[in-house]
Amino acid sequence: MSQLEPVKPRTVSVRALLQQACEPHRLLLEQKKVRLHLPQHELSWQTDADMLMRILTNLVSNAAQYGDREGELRLNMFVEGQQLYIDIQNSGPTIPDADVPHLFEPFYQGQNRRQGPVRGSGIGLSIVKDAARVLGGTVTLQHNQGQTVCFRVCLTQMEPI
């Protein structure tokens, strides 16, 4: 991925990207009566906006598709030290333990299935992992219990070109 698409760091509004990542899924979230919680505070970060958007769109899509009807989708962001953390958390079925070690493998489809007519290809989380790595970051399954699933993206500031 990194050889095909050069990274172009610039200062971006993380809150605006989170809002933008939710837009394609608004109708589904409304149909499922999911309560969407976006951060109210603003946060700027030096990164590649397109690559971060690829990460956020995939994670929000999964949360919208796999999350509970009448559940919640919470997006949060915070900075600790030199790290930006973005959490995408949804209420819904947890990921089976047997699937967890394989989540970021290309084409892996776990035991849980997407709700609705759209079927996944199993490449979304591998794209997320690759994009995070290109940005010098990571993505992890932060929480997976009690009807709550949360993925965490961790990024460092990139130097402008």
Average pLDDT over residues 31-37: 97
- Cβ 44 vs Cβ 13: under 8 Å: yes
- Residues contacting residue 97 through CB under 8 Å, at least 6 positions apart: none
Q: Name 47's bridge partners.
A: 10
Q: For residue 55, give the 3-state DSSP assignment.
A: helix
DSSP label at residue 118? P
Q: For residue 42, give the 3-state DSSP assignment.
A: coil
- Each residue of 94-128: pLDDT tens digit? 988 988 888 887 655 655 544 444 444 457 788 99
Give me 78's structure tokens.
Answer: 């915070």
Q: Chain-centre distance of CA 71, in angstroms?
A: 17
Q: What is the pTM of this model?
A: 0.88
- Each residue of 47-88: pLDDT tens digit? 999 999 999 999 999 999 989 999 999 999 999 999 999 999
- Each residue of 137-160: pLDDT tens digit? 999 999 999 999 999 999 999 887
